[in-house]
Chain A
Amino acid sequence: MTASRAFHAAIAYALLAVLAALIAYPLLYTLLSVFLTPAEASKFPPQLFPTSLYLGNVTAVLKLIPIERFIANSFLIAVIITAGQVLTGAMGSYAFAYMRFPFKPFWFALFLSTMMIPWEVTIIPNYLTVKQWGWLDSYQGLTVPFLASAFGVFLLRQFFLQLPRELFEAARIDGCGHIRHFLNIVVPLSRPALATLAVYVFLQSWNMYLWPLLITSSDTMRTVQIGISMLQFQENTDWNLVLSGVAVVLLPSLLLLVLGLKQLVRGITAGAVKG
């Protein structure tokens, strides 16, 4: 019995190790390439492990393209979108969870229906709208279309409905109106749900590709995702320089993953479909 259990465990560990190596390899390869000196990078057969903590690639890539500007752009855009979606989502879900108003089922169905419209389908008219407004290559153009999402409303509504109803009744009896109830009771109690939504939206906005590709054209407005994909098209760029750029870009998202994995998992399992 114990022998067969040890055997099972050995097989499980072997499989896990192979799978983990496969999944982690592209990332390890990227991170290790950062520290290869130009001489080591041009060796054949390729050198797999660097011999020193060489940082020349990082400084070189920072000189080659304005990565810090791209990171700042992406960060600003992601923060604005996250704040916007948390705010509009909290307000919308409060209305659906706590307030009475005419045609509520209709409005709820309307919100639900927005989840069935893929962003790619609306991209041509949106591009024309943003162009007409003179919002090409601007922060408005990159953020305003994303300031609300039905996903945020559903995620938060779900949470709001689980808050004890008695709190609401008690607050009501004490003469507390909807705005105070929303700001002083519901929002503070919902911090875990708000954090879940925030981490999820932040990562999604940070990773946006098609929309920034379409509407940004200058280096000062480029986001990190577009900037990094352009690095490989530059002439005479060493491959490990490109990977160093990727590593610089990867670090913030990896950090966010380490810090916010729990929130992210909660967001995904709540049925994160769109994006």
Chain B
Amino acid sequence: MEMLEQEMPFVAPQQAKSAQLKAAAKLESAAGARRKEHALAYLFLAPSLLIFGIFLFYPLLKSVYLSLHLTDPRGRVAEFVGLSNYKNLLGSTAFWNSLKVTALFTLLTVPAGIALGLIAASLTYSSLRFMRLFRFVFSLPLAISVSTASVIWMMLFHPTLGMFNYFLAAAGLSPVQWLTDPTYALLSVAAMTVWMHSGFNFIVLLSGLQGISQDIYDSAKIDGSGPFRTFVRIIVPLLSPTVFFLVIVSVIGAFQSFGQIHILTKGGPAGSTEVFVYSIYKEAFMNYQFGTGSAMALVLFAIILILTVIQFTVLEKKVHYQ
């Protein structure tokens, strides 16, 4: 988003200039008109501000407040405990496990997802025939929600009825307990997540490719560069802002994953798929510990904030722009 911000300077100077002209024309009514404009502007912003205030800013402060307290099962504050919720969190193995699982889940989904998107986007970015059809197929997962995707894959993963084990058996391999074996569960959920996000990644990378000027391809061709070399040496560097954007968005998305875990594994077996948001959900809405739940939510907020700051600073400096 901040990429866009740089391209959009404030319009205030222009407006100020026209305001000066106007002020010279009718000095006496200008103050009244301006006051009216101010009031109208705030009226236009009011609905958004009201929603943000009640459902974003107030909850953020309330989270801080709750995280310093113990609560009863109805969410009422029972006792001030200072930072002990945070201390308990840092000392709990479940907390570190869910951080580890989330990090692992991120590593399993983000690079694979971007690689897949990059391959699909670069293959369909050509003048060959039927590309519109392939582009449509690759963007199909965009329409699929986390719950429909999870239910479909639940059927595919089914130990006896599922197609994956059928294919394994047909290939002469022994069946796999996709979702109940601790060594496979996270991998299985990750595979399904890569599929679910592939439409989004494809669209972002394809439009990144389309944003690169045709002249660059042409001059690379004239210089005798083959398609593979052109891709690795020229296109990939030029695509780096898009890829970087996608990395950050995907990492943040991975830290926010919940639905597929809730439907497919419920965090199990033995906590091997218990990602961070699922832990928050469990703590707050199954154990009714709103205090520690809020402390965990704020840790998530801090992590995502750090990722966003990295995005801001790195995107400014390190990434190659055309």
Which B residues contact A (CB, under 8 angstroms)? 1, 3-5, 8, 10-12, 14-16, 18-19, 34, 37-38, 40-42, 44-45, 47-52, 54-60, 62-63, 66, 75, 116, 119-120, 123-124, 126, 128, 134, 136-156, 158, 161, 163, 166, 170, 195, 198, 200, 203-204, 207, 227, 245, 249, 252, 256, 258-259, 262-263, 277, 280-281, 284-285, 290, 293-294, 297-298, 300-301, 304-305, 308
Q: How far in angstroms is the closest Cβ of chain A from B254?
A: 12
A95 sits at the interface (CB 8 A)? yes
Q: A16-B123, A249-B148 are in contact. Are A129 and B59 (CB under 8 A)?
A: yes
Q: Report the nearest A residue to B207, measured CB to CB.
A: A269
> Are A12 and B163 touching (Cβ within 8 A)?
no
Give Cα A98–Cα B12 distance, bound, in whole angstroms.
9
Which chain A residues in 112-133 approach chain B with CB under 8 Å?
A: 112, 114-118, 120-129, 131
In the complex, 27 of the A-B residue pairs with CB atoms within 8 angstroms, ordered by the A residue number, are A12-B128, A19-B119, A23-B120, A23-B137, A23-B141, A23-B195, A91-B47, A92-B44, A94-B44, A99-B41, A100-B34, A118-B256, A120-B280, A124-B293, A128-B75, A129-B54, A145-B54, A154-B4, A178-B37, A210-B259, A213-B262, A229-B150, A232-B263, A242-B151, A243-B155, A268-B200, A271-B245
Bound-state Cα–Cα, A115 to B52, Å = 10
Q: How would residues 151 to 195 of chain A score, 1 for a CB under 8 Å from any chain B CB and 0 otherwise?
A: 101100110010001000100000000110000000000000000
Q: How far is the CA of A98 from the CA of B245 in the complex (A)?
A: 30
Report the separation of the CA atoms of residues A199 and B182 in the bound assembly, to the nearest whole angstrom: 39
Contact between A273 and B4, CB atoms less than 8 A apart: no
Query: How many A residues, CB 8 Å from partner?
Result: 97
Complex formed: what's the CA distance from A153 to B42 in Å?
A: 14
| Choice from A88, A100, A161, A232 contacting B51 with Cβ under 8 Å | A88
CB distance A203 to B143 under 8 Å?
yes
Q: Which residues of A are found within 8 Å of B300, using beta-carbon distances?
A: 118, 120-121
For B34, the closest partner residue in chain A by CB is A100
Nearest chain A CB to B124's CB is how many angstroms away? 7
